[in-house]
A and B are shown apart, each in its own frame.
Chain A
C-alpha cells in the first residue's frame, strides 16, 4: 500500500511537473513570438511585465529574466526612450539571469547591447567608456560560444552607426554582417525558447549596406 502510494505520488508530481514545464514552454513560446514582430515600446513594456511574471513563478529559469531584459533594451530604441532607466532595469534582470546561468554567451551579448544603448544618451562623452565596454562584452560572448552569431551582428551595427571618421561606416560594417549571416544559417538554438533573434535584422542591415555601397562589383556579387 505504502509502495503504491509512493508510486502514485511520484507519477502525479512528475505529471504535475511536466504539465508545469509544458505551461512554461508554451507561455514562453507564445510571448517570444510576440517579440519577433514588434518594436512598439508599450507592447514591449507589456511583454517585459509578462516575462517578469513568468520569472516570478519559475524561480530557477534564467530565460524569463533574459527576455525581460531583452524587452527593456529594445524599448530604448523607441523615440521617447528613457534610456538610462530602462538600461538599469535591463541590467537588474540580467544580473539575476547571470547568477543562474554564469558564463552564458547570450547573456553577455545582451550586456554588450545595453552598453551600446547607453552611448546614445551622449555619444561625445560616453562613447569611450561604454563603447569599450560593449566591444569587450562582444569579444567575451564570442569566446564563450563560437557559434553564436549575435555578437557578430552587434559588431556590424556598431560599425554601421559609427561615423566613418571614427572608423565606422557601411563598408566596415558589411563584413561583420556577412559573417553573422553565414553563422545564422548554421546556428541551432538550444531549444524552442532559447535566444534566436537577429537573423532578420541582420538581413535588413546587409541590404542597407549594399544600397549605398559605392563598390558596385561588391554588391553585384552579393546579389547572386
Chain B
C-alpha cells in the first residue's frame, strides 16, 4: 500500500517536473531560400516556441519528450507540420515554407480587358474614377473614352474601338444586352449614356479577345455589374443647371432586402437661353424618367436583383439647309420612349457550383419628324440567360450556359416626295440563341489557359456559326503579367440592314492580341498590340443588293500609364492609341481608312485633391489626329483629313458635411479653351458649299453646375483615414 502510494506520488510528480529539455534551432526559409523573419516555430499544444529573428534563425527549448509535432507558420505561407522525437539531444531543424494560395499571386486574364472594380483585387480603375474624370461629365462612356483603344468620335456617344464602328461595341448589364444604352439624338450630336455610374459596382471594358460568354460584338464589350445591397438607407437630391432629381433607397433592418426609386427631370431650355447654340431649337431637349431597384438576399450566397429604367425625351430643331438658296431650314424633331428592365438571380449550389439566371425586357421607340417625312422606329428585345459555373480544384473553373433573344424591329416612314405619297412599314423578327462553354485551366498559379467556344444561331440569318476563343496568361513577377488572346466574333449586320429585305449574313472579326501589364497599388503600365481581321462586312452592290463582300483590318498599339504616387495628392493617367485600319465596306470603292478612325489618339487625365480646401479638381486633355472625311471634289475617296482634335475639360467639386447631409457642389466645363473641333463636313448637292460638323454650341463648350445632397449618410463614419 505504501509502495503503491509512493509510486503514485512519483508518477504525479513526474508530470510536474521535466525529465529533459531539448534545444531546437535552425533557420526558416521559403522555397527560394529567402530567409523568413517573424515566423512562428512551436511545439503543438504547448507554450514552447519562438519567433524567427531578422536573419530567419531561431533557437528554443522544448520541455516535452517523445514524439511531438513542430509547427512553423507565417502569413502568406502554408503552415508546415513536422514530427520530431525529443530526447534531450540538440536538434537542428530548418523549416522550408511553401507560399500559400494568394489571390494576388494568381495570374488573371488581362489581354484586351480593362476592369474597374471595388473588389479587393488590384484593378486599373475604381468605379469612383469614372465619376471623377473631367471631360466625361459623370458619363460612363465619357470616362471610358480616356482609356486606350477608344477613339475620340465627338459627334457620337458610342464607343468606337480599334477601328470598329460604334455598333460593334455592345453594352451589357449583369450579362444582359442593352440595345439602346444612349439617349436618342440626331446623327451629328453626341448624347449621353442613359445609366448613372453610381448603380454599378463593376465595369469591364473589353477592347478585344473577350470571353465566349459574350457574343454579337465584333470590337468591344462593356460589361456593367449592378451593386448589391446598399450599406444604409439614404435619400438624394440633385439640383443642377440642367435639371432636378430625387431618390430614395431603403435598406430593411435585417439588411437582407432593399428597394429604391429615383426620378429626374432634365430641361436644357434655361441653359440654352444663356449659352447660344448653333441649331435653332423648336423644342429644347427635355428628359423625364426614373429608375427603380429591388434587391433581396435569398440565402447567405443567393441574391435576386431587379433594375427597371424608363425615360421619355423630346427635342427639336431647325438647321439651315445647305442645299437651299432661299434660306430653307431642315426640321428635326424627336420623341423617344425607352424602357429597360433586368431581373437576375445568383446562387451558389453546394461547394462547387454557381448558378446565374437572368431575364430582361426592353423597348425603344423613336418618333421623328423631318421636313417631309415622319418616322416611327421601334425596337424591342426580350432575353433570357442561364450560366452555370463549377470550380475545379483550387483555381480552375468551367462555365457553360446559353442565352435566347427575341427581337422585334419595326420601321415606319411616311411622307411626300415630288407629289408622290409614300407610307412603308418594314418589320424584322429574330430568334437568336447561343450556347457557350469555357474553361479557365490553371496549369499553375502563374499560368492560366482559357479555352472556349460559342455557337450562335439566328433565324434571320438562318445560319449556325461557331466562334472559338482562347487566351493564355502568364505571371512574370509579383505584379506583371504577359497575355495573348485569340478569338472569332460574329455579329448580325446593323439594324438598317436587318430591316431590309435583301439581307446579308453575319459580319465577322478575328482578334489577335498580345499584352504586357504591370499593376501595383499605385502604378499601372499596360502595353498591348493587336491585329484584327474583318470578314464578310456588309457592302452595297451596284445592283442595290447587299452582300457580305466586305473585308478589312485594324492593327495597332495601346499604351496606358497611371501613377498615383509620384506627386502628392495627384492621380494621373496617360493613354495613347496608335491605329492603322482600312476596310472595304458599304459603298466604298476600295479598301480605305473609315471616317471614324484616327491614327493617333492620346489622353491625359489629371486629378488632385486639396484636403485643406475640401476641394477636388481635375482636368482631361484629349488629342486625336485628323480623321478622314468624304470630299466629293477629291477623286480619292475619303482622301481628306479633318484638323486634329483637341479638347480640354476641367472639373472641380467642393465637398461638405452639414449635419447628416453630405453635400457636393460640382462645376465642370468641356472644351475650356474653345478649340475648334471638326468631325467632318457636309457638302451641298452641287459640291459648291461645305459645312463643318461641329459640337452644337458655338465654341463647343458646355458648362455644368450641380449641387448633390445625400441624406442619411453620415460620411463622418465613412471617410476615416484611421492611423491611430
Contact = CB atoms under 8 A, between A and B. Distances in A.
Contact of B47 (A45, A54, A85, A205): A54
Nearest to A168: B716
A163 B44 contact: no
A162 B75 contact: no
B357 to A, nearest CB: 27
Interface string B125-168: 01110000000000000000000000000000000000000000
B662 interface: yes
Interface in B57-81: 71, 73, 75-76
Nearest to A85: B75
A166 B611 CA distance: 11
B274 interface: no
A187 interface: no
Contacts, number: 157
A128 interface: yes
Interface of B, secondary structure class, is: loop
A140 interface: no
A45 B75 CA distance: 10
Interface stretch (A101-109, A115-123, A141-149, A212-220): A115-123
A42 interface: yes
B118 A125 contact: yes
A119 B656 contact: no
Nearest to A45: B38
Contacts of B39: 49
A159 B724 contact: no
B231 interface: yes
B499 interface: no
Interface in A6-39: 8-9, 12, 16, 19, 23, 27
B267 to A, nearest CB: 31
Given A16-B15, A161-B723, A166 B40 contact: no
Contact of A123 (B44, B614, B656, B721): B721
B69 to A, nearest CB: 11
Counting chain A CB atoms within 10 Å of each CB, the highest count among B118, B662, B722 belongs to B722
Contacts of B48: 53
A42 B38 contact: yes
A119 B722 contact: yes
Give chain A's interface residue range (CB within 8 Å of chain B): 35 or more
A84 B104 CA distance: 11
A224 B118 CA distance: 49
Given A52-B40, A119-B722, A165-B655, A135 B717 contact: yes
A127 B718 contact: yes
Nearest to A139: B717
Contacts of A59: 45
Interface string B44-60: 11111111001000000
Nearest to A12: B12
A124 B128 contact: yes
A158 B5 contact: no
B199 interface: no
B325 interface: no
Nearest to B38: A45
B714 interface: yes
A84 B102 CA distance: 12
Interface string B568-605: 00000000000000000000000000000000000000
A118 to B, nearest CB: 9
B82 interface: no
A172 interface: yes
6 contacts: A5-B8, A85-B76, A132-B717, A133-B231, A161-B723, A162-B717
Nearest 6 A-B pairs (CB), nearest first? A167-B657, A167-B716, A131-B718, A165-B614, A49-B40, A127-B719
Interface of A: 1, 4-5, 8-9, 12, 16, 19, 23, 27, 42, 45-46, 49-50, 52-54, 56-57, 59, 77, 82, 84-86, 89, 116-117, 119-120, 122-125, 127-129, 131-135, 157-168, 172, 201, 205
